[in-house]
């Protein structure tokens, strides 16, 4: 297996594991997250931060996943 492909596979697996870990953590700590978001004030940022973390990690996983299979977005000339 070429080095580039191995590196892409490693990144895909790491981001996939991180994404799965985030889902597990959210499942395990759903009550404290909900309780914190109900407190008012600046605590409304808790679910926004959680959503941002999920978006960032899962987006990287998805991008590396498709790149691993050679599927890339079509580019257009300006």
The Cα–Cα gap between 42 and 49 comes to: 12
pLDDT at residue 70, as a whole number: 87
Render pLDDT for 11-56 as a digit per residue (tens, 0 to 9).
999 999 999 999 999 999 999 999 999 998 999 999 999 999 999 9
pTM given for the model: 0.82
Unique residue bearing structure tokens 């004030």: 41
3-state secondary structure of 14: helix
Q: What is the DSSP letter of 38?
A: T
Please report, for the chain, the start and end positions of each structural domain, with discontinuous segments joined by +.
42-67
pLDDT at 6 over 90: yes
pLDDT at residue 45, as a whole number: 93
């Amino acid at each position: 297996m070429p080095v580039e492909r191995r590196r892409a596979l490693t990144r895909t697996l790491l981001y996939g594991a991180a994404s799965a870990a985030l889902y597990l953590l959210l499942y395990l700590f759903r009550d404290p997250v909900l309780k914190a978001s109900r407190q008012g004030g600046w605590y409304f940022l808790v679910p926004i931060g959680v959503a941002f973390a999920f978006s960032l990690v899962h987006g990287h996983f998805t991008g590396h996943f498709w790149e691993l299979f050679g599927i890339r977005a079509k580019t257009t000339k300006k």
